[in-house]
Structure formats: structure tokens, C-alpha cells
Amino acid sequence: MTTGKARLRVVYLEFGAARPALAWHDGRSLDPGRTGERARIHQLFNQIVDRAAADTSGPHGRAVRHAETLLVEVPVGDRLLVTIVVSAVGGSDWPTRCATQAAEILRAGDLDVEPATLSEALADGWRTTRPFRRVAALRSRLGGWLRRLFRAVAPARGHR
Amino acid sequence: MPIPIIIYAGIAAAGAVGAAVAARKWRRSLRIAVLGVNDSGKSTLIDFWRGEWVEEGRAHTQAKRNFDRIKTVAGDRRFVFRKLADLSGDESDWAEWKGPAEASAVVLYLVRAVDLVDEERAADLHPDGYGPFTKGWERIEDSAGLIRPWLDGGRAKLCVLTVTWCDQDPRQAELGEDAYRKHLAGQLEPIVLKLGGTGRVRVVAGSLESPASAGALSDRIMDQIVAWERT
């Protein structure tokens, strides 16, 4: 069930040892010195990953979902990933809206990323991590096996 | 004649279960934590164990990855790593290393060889005393100091201080392999002390530039773990 208005929570990108990570959390850009506030971003990541109902990888990157919160990791260049967290996912245009906002934040950090790339990753991530998707896939596979078994057994019964 | 077939099937199933149980026993089960600053090779090593080598190099791990079980082989020994987390090496995530460090029997602490090269060069410029420590060395020292109390208070009995990416260290070719390892051990003495001393810490070195070199480094790490378990 999706209820609230989607809200961009985190935009985060690490450059390795060479340069401090770009960190944006709940409306604020965090300077490298604000270690405590930056640590809260990782706490949030860990909460989502540890409680995830689904953690998948696809053509648009990794998607992790906990309740109505979605975390996506999207490749945006040479060995670079941007991690985006959106909470209270809902509404029809939320991927475009959140992706546009995230692209603006990245642009402010001198990184040009097409909003469409992020938007597709968000939409795809939300779709592929929907609850009970695995159960549904297992049920359909089991159904297929049972149907095949029934077909194999039925003629034998008729013969007898 | 369905009954003999059922009996044969039962014997085969029991054999398969027995073989599976035996294989499981032969596999050494371990809980380890893999820690280290950015670019030290944590994810590369974990991906090697998972059989998921990324040829062109992988992006930095930002949101952690959890692995319930990783089965791997080192030489003729088989291991299962339980509940292994691939963590970010960013300073802002160091506090989150605490949980895995305290819960694990073995802590691998990875440091990049290039940070040691930079530190030595900086120290050479200031032979009369402590030079301005490089950022890389400071990060290693700071994170090692953070890990120490988790080792003291946690389950970990062994810390393997692992120098990675040695292929990028020109001193290896200059000194030769054995002398290079001794040199590294000398340079890392302050870090070994920070982590709890030689009673707890073993130093190994190697490269992660290819699956073969990662395999060799992994073997050295496992040698230390096996030797420690025997004591």
C-alpha cells in the first residue's frame, strides 16, 4: 500500500579515498566535516538493508525496499554509483519528481546525470522489489510443475 | 516391481544426505568481519570469495551488502563465511563496523600498500622527527584505534592486518618479496600495537589485481586463520 507523498531523503556518492563523498540528507548538503550527520546516512542505509523485504540487482542497478522506503544504487560513471533513498513512495509522478531533484543535487556537486536515468532506476527498483514477488514467482513455478505432473499421470490412469 | 526401486531410491537418498553432511563437516564455518578504509579492497576480496570477480573494477560500496553464507576454497581447505557484511570504508560509516567486528571470531583489517608508500616518503622528508602524517596513514591509524576496543570487548581472537594492492608498491620490486614483507611488518608496527599487539595480530600482504593474485592473498589469510585455530 502506498499512502504518502514521496520524499527524497538521501543522495550520496563516494569517490573513494581521493575526494570526500557527496552527501545530501533531508534537504541539506553535508560538508565533509559533518561526520556525525553523514554517519546518520549510513545508519539509514543499514536500517533499510537489514530490514529489507527485497534486495535485487537489475539493469538499472541495485534496489532495496523496506516498507514504503526505497534505496537504489545507480551507476553514473566510471566506477561511480549514486545511492538515492526515497521514503513514503506514492503518487504517479514520484520517480520523475525525485529524480529531477536528485539530478539537481548532483549537478551542484559538479556531476551531470540525466534525470531520466535516475527516474527509470527508481521506477524499476520500486516495481522489482514489490512484496510477495518471489512468493508469486514460486507459486507460478509450482503450479507449472503440478500441471506437468498431472498431464504425465492422467494418460497413465486412463490407460489402466 | 516398484518396491526394489523404492529401496534403491532410499539408499541413494541416504547416501546423498550422508555425503552432504560429511561435506558440510569438512567445510570450516567462520564468522569474519572485513574492515578497512576506502579503496582498501574489501568488496574486491569478498567478490572473489563469492566467485563474482569484476574485471574492470567495481564501484565503491556505499549501502552495505549482507551475505548469509559465502562458500569458498583456499588451497585444499573449504570455508563457509556466515553473515558476512560488505561495508563502506568511508569515515562516516566506521561506527557501523562495530556490530560485525564484535560479533566475529576473526577480523580482517585491510590497508592499501600505496598509503604505506606515501607515508614512508613523507617521513623521509622529515628525518628528524614525526613528519606531517599523510591523510592515508591518519585514516589507517584512526580506524585501527577505533577497532581496538571492539576487539577487546568482542568475540574476535584474531586480527589479520592485510596489506592489499602490493602490485602498486614499487618497494616490492626494489626489495624482493621476503625483504618487502619484513619491511612492511616493520612499518606497520604502530598499527599492530594499536590493534592489540602481536599476540592478536598477524600481518599478511598481497595483491588483488587479478583472480590469481586475489587467490594467493586469500590463501595467506586462511593460512593465518588455520594456524591460529590450531594454537
Q: Give residue A1's pLDDT.
A: 43
Highest mean pLDDT: which range of A48-57, A143-152, B53-62: A48-57
Q: How many CA atoms lie within 13 A of A106 on its CB side?
A: 27
Check B60 against A14: CB less than 8 A apart. Answer: yes
**A–B: how many Cβ contacts below 8 A?**
68
What ipTM, to 2 d.p.? Answer: 0.80
Q: What is the DSSP string of A70-86?
A: EEEEEEEETTEEEEEEE
Suggest the residue from A10, A11, A12, A14 to mutate for an interface test with chain B (most B CBs closer than 10 A).
A14
Residues of A in contact with B90 (CB under 8 A): 14, 21, 38, 42
Q: Residue B59: its pLDDT value, please?
A: 87
Nearest to B61 by CA among B84, B82, B79, B80: B84
B6-230, CATH topology level: Rossmann fold (3.40.50)
Read off the pLDDT of residues A34-82 as tens digits, 9 standing for 90 and up: 888 999 999 999 999 999 988 999 888 999 999 899 999 999 988 899 9
Listing DSSP states for B128-180 in one string gives TS-----HHHHHHHHHHHHHHHHHHHSS--EEEEEEE-GGG-HHHHHH-HHHH
pLDDT value of position A155: 63
**In this structure, are residues A102 and A112 in contact, taking their beta carbons and an 8 Å threshold?**
no
pLDDT of A3 over the 50 cut: no
Query: Do the chains contact at A43 and B96, CB–CB below 8 Å?
Result: yes
Report chain A residues touching chain B, CB-CB < 8 A: 12-17, 21, 23, 35, 38-39, 41-43, 45-46, 48-50, 55, 62, 64, 71, 73, 75, 79-81, 83
Closest chain A residue by Cα to residue B135: A17
**B207 pLDDT exceeds 50?**
yes
A48 vs A140, higher pLDDT: A48
Q: Which of A35, A41, A49 sits opposite B91 (nearest CB)?
A: A35
Taking chain A, what is the end-to-end CA distance rounded to the nearest angstrom? 52
pLDDT of A11 reads 97
At residue A4, the pLDDT reads 54
Per-residue pLDDT of B81-134, as tens digits, reads 999 999 999 988 999 999 999 999 999 999 999 999 998 888 777 666 555 578
Q: What is the pLDDT of residue B128?
A: 62
List all residues 6 or more positions away from B153 whose beta carbon is below 8 Å from its beta carbon: B102
Q: What's the one-letter identity of residue B164?
A: T
A26 CA to chain B: closest CA distance, Å?
17
Q: A77 Cβ partners below 8 Å, 6+ apart?
A: A111
pLDDT class of A2 with cuts at 50, 70, 90: very low
Give me the residue spans of the domains in chain B.
6-230
Contact between A73 and A38 (Cβ < 8 Å): no
CA-closest candidate to residue B32, choices B74, B86, B112, B88: B86
The mean predicted confidence, pLDDT, of chain A is 87
* pLDDT at residue number B89: 93
Does the pLDDT at position B156 exceed 50? yes
